[in-house]
Structure 1
């Protein structure tokens, strides 16, 4: 757990790069993109936590579904096709995913898979629309896909080691942040 926190902390500060603004669409920019936005960060941790609640095997369908839909949404965004109400749906994803975590919903049923697909599509579309014009869009995408997988894994590990009460508190916090951001 300590190593994971140190690794996450090392990835967080954009100022750690000596010359910001160079290679804006590179791997580092893609890795940082989901971690620098609280909406993406919290929702993706929540998906990982819900995956752990679904069990080792079935639960991994949630993050895989989220990532697959995120890639599809990103491709649409990179092609200039923005989905309607992208930011409001991302905020709704925080409220819903946080609420499910707070309510101690377990499993990877079809309803939860559909929600992960929907929310992944919109999160991905936001990433795609925000792809910097310079550099390789494909490398940028590889970065945010990898970061999303790492955030899902971090959420899964946290859920595995934290007491259920703390997971529920985290769920309430995610939902609360989503509601506050919507105001």
Structure 2
């Protein structure tokens, strides 16, 4: 299967696991802008099938270009302008993020990091479904912190309440696998 076909399947999986990615692709038409992101990820994972494809498409304020309205409130972008990806396969955990500049047809990738799941040294479950996140806000899915043998850590997912029911199930199923991946 060629990269383009695998990339299309991966984009579909992001839509299935992430509310904001589904909106970004289906409502805002960001599929072509994010195709290069999908191509990079499929080149890294090869034929592996992702277990979790999550992330966030968000409206972010570029603090170097902060705009305020007449009343002094921040002017937020009309469209999402930041993407964030967490991709988990049986062997890898990958994060990548970058910008979707207004008026551009492509993205500006900031960084991509890849960890081997076999190098997980600690799994911390910070929140479970039903636990109070803050007064009046109850979590719908797990929130984890993975520590790796090199001292780095990763929060999964990296967005509050952006997982779809399919994504929630995928993340929940990964927790016992992550425990099993921990290095001795």
> Taking CA–CA contacts closer than 8 Å with sequence separation of 6 or more, which of the two structures ends up with the larger relative contact order?
1
Q: TM-score with structure 2 length normalisation?
A: 0.29
Bigger strand fraction: 2
Q: TM-score, normalising length from structure 1? A: 0.29
Query: Which structure is higher in helix share?
Result: 1
